[in-house]
Amino acid sequence: MQHQLLAQPAMSVAKLTMQAGESVTCEVGAMIAMTSGFNVETTSRNKGGSGGLAKGLKRMFAGENFFLNHFTATASDQTLMIGPGLLGDVMHYPLLGNTLIVQGSSWLASAVGIEIDATWQGFGKALFSGEGMFWVKCSGSGDLFLNSFGSIYQVDVDGEYVVDTGHIVAFDDTLQFRVGKAGTSLVGSILGGEGLVCKFSGQGRLYCQSHNPPSFGKLLGPKLKAR
């Protein structure tokens, strides 16, 4: 499978070129266009693998869809265009046996060799991190495509790093994070508009998005006409 990311960063789409027999698993609704030589299969389990009802439900809690779409090329040089729902970036991440923790709804597509599972982020974090209750855990090896709202930037964390809640796209499982206040005083943090932040520690890579959907919604919502 070859990939090409087009129109980055604001309105990115991924163009995947696949040979006969190659498969890719995509988020439901991610397909924009494709050539005719694809076999599309919709199930709740990973391609040729485990999962099913329970995994589907866990994915739903993680902010993803119950179902997954598997695209399998039936002829050579088939192209598939996939893109995110919101205006934003698409990121390619080659997973090499390691594990990436992805914010719910940021997962776009992955190669067959990647296991998609939901992982509980812990009680305190679930309540305050501004993310879903679960994260999507991607492990295995192969190509992984993530999407974001706004553009994605990468941070190599060694030590500590602070991200506002809602701006996390993905991070290595070698990183640990806590939810804490931005400043030394809670009142100050809230008045400063930062409120609670995610504090990462350890060593690993962190991917952040430049915008976050809830803030955007809050700005836009009042301006929309009631239907």
Partner 1 sequence: MQSTYSGGVFSDTLADGRAGGEVELMPAGIAIRCPDGEFFVIPYRECQVEMGGYHGRMLFCRNPDRSLTIYSEDAQFRRDLSLAAAGMLDEQLAMGNRQRRSESRRSLFYAVAFVAATLVVVVAGYFAVRSGAKAAVLALPTSVDAKIGDAAMQSMTLEGPQVEDPVIVDAMQSIVDRLEPQAAVEGFQFKVHVVDSPMVNAFALPGGNIVVYTGLIRSATSAEQVAAVLAHEMAHVTLRHGLQRAGQSLGIWAGMSLLIGDVSGLMGAGVDLFQTASANQYSRQHENEADREGVRMLQAADIDPAAMTQLFAAINKEQGDLPEIFAWISTHPDDASRIAQVEALIQKLPPRDYRPIDVDWAAVQTQLSDLPANQPPGD
Task: Please report, as ranges, the residues that interact with partner 1 according to CB under 8 A.
Answer: 96-99, 101, 119, 122-124, 127, 141, 156, 171, 173-177, 201-204
Q: Which spans in 67-225 are helix H?
A: 123-128, 186-191, 213-220
Burial class (CB in 10 A: 0-12, 13-18, 19+), 218: exposed
Residues 6+ apart with CB under 8 A from 61: 118, 132, 133, 134
Contact 146, 170 (CB under 8 A): yes
When the beta carbons of 68 and 170 are compared against partner 1, the nearer one is 170
Rounded-to-integer distance, Cα 202 and Cα 178, Å: 11
Least gap, CB of 51 to partner 1 (angstroms): 21
- Token pair, residue 53, equals 């009802």
Rounded-to-integer distance, Cα 177 and Cα 4, Å: 32
Least gap, CB of 168 to partner 1 (angstroms): 12
When the beta carbons of 145 and 177 are compared against partner 1, the nearer one is 177
Rounded-to-integer distance, Cα 169 and Cα 103, Å: 5
When the beta carbons of 42 and 141 are compared against partner 1, the nearer one is 141
Least gap, CB of 111 to partner 1 (angstroms): 16
Least gap, CB of 122 to partner 1 (angstroms): 6
When the beta carbons of 79 and 201 are compared against partner 1, the nearer one is 201
When the beta carbons of 71 and 177 are compared against partner 1, the nearer one is 177
Least gap, CB of 99 to partner 1 (angstroms): 8
DSSP 204: E
Rounded-to-integer distance, Cα 218 and Cα 141, Å: 38
Least gap, CB of 11 to partner 1 (angstroms): 28
When the beta carbons of 128 and 216 are compared against partner 1, the nearer one is 128
